[in-house]
Amino acid sequence: MLVLEYKAVVKKAQSVAIDEAIRTSQFVRNKVLRYWIDNRGVGKKDLYQYNTQLRTEYPFVKDLNSHACQASVENVERAISRFFDNCKKNKPGKKGYPRFKRDTRSVEYKTSGWKLHPTKRRITFSDKKGIGELKLLGKWDIHTYPLDLIKRVRIVRRANGYYVQFCVKVDAATEPRMANGEVGLDVGLEYFYSDSNGYHEENPRFLRKAEKAIKHAQRRIYSKEKGKNNRRKAKGQYARKHLRVSRQREEHALRVARNVCKANAYVAYEELNVKGLVRNRRLAKSISDVAWSAFRRWLEYFAIKFGTQVVAVPPHYTSQKCSGCGNVVKKGLSTRTHTCKCGCVLQRDVNAAINILSKAKSTGGHPGSNAWGVATSTLLGATQACASCDVEPRIPRLIAVGSVKHSSIAPLPSKGEAAK
């Protein structure tokens, strides 16, 4: 599945109608979830029958398209299935018991309730909520796909307006790689990642750079009187600053992951428990700011697009073990240089990246030359000096190689410190 997103030009009356549709979908979801909680053992069929009962009982629910109500029931069904799956697998910690929603920001239509204009630059929602026709702004190629491949249409509310997403049932077109290198990646906070060839990708620290402006916008909220229009505007400005930071993180993760997969046929990276790492209250903000989960998600997406093999390995002892002789060299977090009695002197993260690559290949990964010597870097078109040398090679700044049209529909989806 691919997601194509357009910015919607919305009038004030249409924004009110969209908000009402979103609230109605949230109401249906919460009512169906309450029905499941109060009647343990009910199945999928019972949930859909209760949804039909809600449409009879509440006129404002009936005004929403029936497929949109069914999509809300499907959300509850997925949450219930995920909860029972986690219980069966004995997942450590919380099992994800389904919870009520209080701030839903989207409504999802299936194959009915909407109609595209022949130009594919306008969409009309035909239910009784009164949304009507919306103009679409964007340069995506939705007009190249048959209408029967569009399986979902979502209206999403964000801090800077409304967006329309089309979920298209097609596979992303594959592209040829520029090189066939092998690389191991060690992510951290000092650098976004360090690879097994000695290259360091700088950590952009988007939140830290925007933090002063965000705090100033937050203080302005409390200086306005409650219930007034100026306070609402101040909240919007604050939300837009956070939205900009989240988009910067996502775009950076996308660009870097694309370059890595386009330059290498084999990529090994750490399988970090980001959810557990953010519990560290001293590093939680920095961990969230670096967006490791988004980077991993895009690595897996571009691995399919470029035919790259990606392997996740446990990070245990990758920074303590010497990549030259295999001995364990204990070091604290403040020690940034790995020095072993065998004569191997490396930057700490580079040593860990080499161990990650070796670990991936030794556990049944794709065979090939090791990470020592001259090899393809994550920098497209560049090569690296010997990874065991204590002199860090001089490498130009990483350049983006184009952009990506499509994003994966999977949410992915969720942030830690690998500084070892």
- Indicate if 134 and 248 belong to the same structural domain: no
- Indicate if 337 and 387 belong to the same structural domain: yes
Q: Which of 122, 103, 18 is nearest to 64 (CA)?
A: 18
Regions of the chain short of the pLDDT cut 70: 364-420
Residue 30 C-alpha from the chain's centroid: 26
Query: Is residue 283 a contact partner of residue 415, using CB atoms and an 8 Å limit?
Result: no
Q: Is 151 helix (H, G, I), strand (E, B) or coil?
A: strand
- Indicate if 241 and 201 belong to the same structural domain: yes
Residue 388 confidence (pLDDT): 34
Residue 64 confidence (pLDDT): 95
Residue 219 confidence (pLDDT): 95
- Indicate if 119 and 232 belong to the same structural domain: no
- Indicate if 161 and 255 belong to the same structural domain: no
- Indicate if 335 and 204 belong to the same structural domain: yes
- Indicate if 197 and 146 belong to the same structural domain: no
Q: Which of 114, 137, 168 is the last residue of a domain?
A: 168
Instruction: Note whether residue 176 is domain-resident.
Output: no
Task: Look at phi and psi of residue 120 and say left if phi exceeds 0, alpha if psi is from -120 to 50, else beta.
Answer: left
Instruction: Note whether residue 193 is domain-resident.
Output: yes
Instruction: Note whether residue 207 is domain-resident.
Output: yes
- Indicate if 134 and 196 belong to the same structural domain: no
Q: Which residues pair with 183 in a beta bridge?
A: 267
- Indicate if 47 and 195 belong to the same structural domain: no
- Indicate if 216 and 356 belong to the same structural domain: yes
Residue 345 confidence (pLDDT): 82
Q: Please, what's the b/e burial string for 279-304 (b: 16 or more CB within 10 A of its CB; e: otherwise)?
A: eeeeeeebbbbbbbbbbbbbbbbbbe
Instruction: Note whether residue 173 is domain-resident.
Output: no
Question: Full-prediction pTM beyond 0.75?
Answer: yes
Residue 178 confidence (pLDDT): 87
- Indicate if 149 and 227 belong to the same structural domain: no
Residue 392 confidence (pLDDT): 34
Instruction: Note whether residue 415 is domain-resident.
Output: no
Q: Which of 146, 168, 190 is the last residue of a domain?
A: 168
Residue 208 confidence (pLDDT): 93
Per the structure, the complete domain to which residue 350 belongs is given by 181-408
Instruction: Note whether residue 401 is domain-resident.
Output: yes
The number of beta carbons lying within 10 Å of the beta carbon of residue 187 is 28
Residue 342 confidence (pLDDT): 83
Residue 340 confidence (pLDDT): 82
Instruction: Note whether residue 416 is domain-resident.
Output: no
Q: Which of 142, 168, 194 is the last residue of a domain?
A: 168
Our count of domains for the chain comes to 2
Residue 398 confidence (pLDDT): 30
- Indicate if 92 and 229 belong to the same structural domain: no
Instruction: Note whether residue 316 is domain-resident.
Output: yes
